Amino acid sequence: MAGKFWSGVRRFIMWDYPRACWQYDAMVILILAFIFLTPREWFRDQPRPSSIVMLEGHTGTDVVWIAPEVLAAVPKAARQSTAASLIRQKFGKGFNLVRLDPILDAESEITGYMALVKP
């Protein structure tokens, strides 16, 4: 009896069943269940948005949104120059930073930065 069990386990691991038999279908169902029912948190596979995003402007300037964690460790005096260099790295050297404004929430915490740039 134990030999039959281990033989079945070995066949399951080696995928040794012919197509269209119930064992093959059971393996496919187990694989699909694992793919679609496993929570993303198990693998820490959360989609991450880009930390610097270009938005279209209206009056010859474009708007760039910068995530707060990108400039969190930068001192206030150096934020503008750091943001300008990040924008040039991401979008090319033809963009000049005009203004950098923090976006505040209801508790006055920074939720991002809006940078006005001219091409």
User: What is the per-residue pLDDT across 47-82, written as a single tens digit (0 to 9) for each?
Assistant: 666 788 887 767 777 888 888 888 888 888 889 899
Range of the domain at 10: 2-42
Same domain, 85 and 103: yes
Q: Which token pair is 2?
A: 């134990």
34, pLDDT greater than 90: yes
pLDDT mean over 80-98: 85
Same domain, 35 and 69: no
Helix (H) or strand (E) holding 52: strand 52-55
- Which of these, 93, 77, 71, lies nearest to 117 by C-alpha position? 93
- Which of these, 113, 59, 58, lies nearest to 87 by C-alpha position? 113
Which residue has tokens 């006005």? 116
Q: What pLDDT shows up at residue 29?
A: 93
Query: How many structural domains are present in the chain?
Result: 2
Contacts of 70 (CB under 8 A, 6+ apart): 51, 52, 86
* Residue 47 belongs to some domain of the structure: no
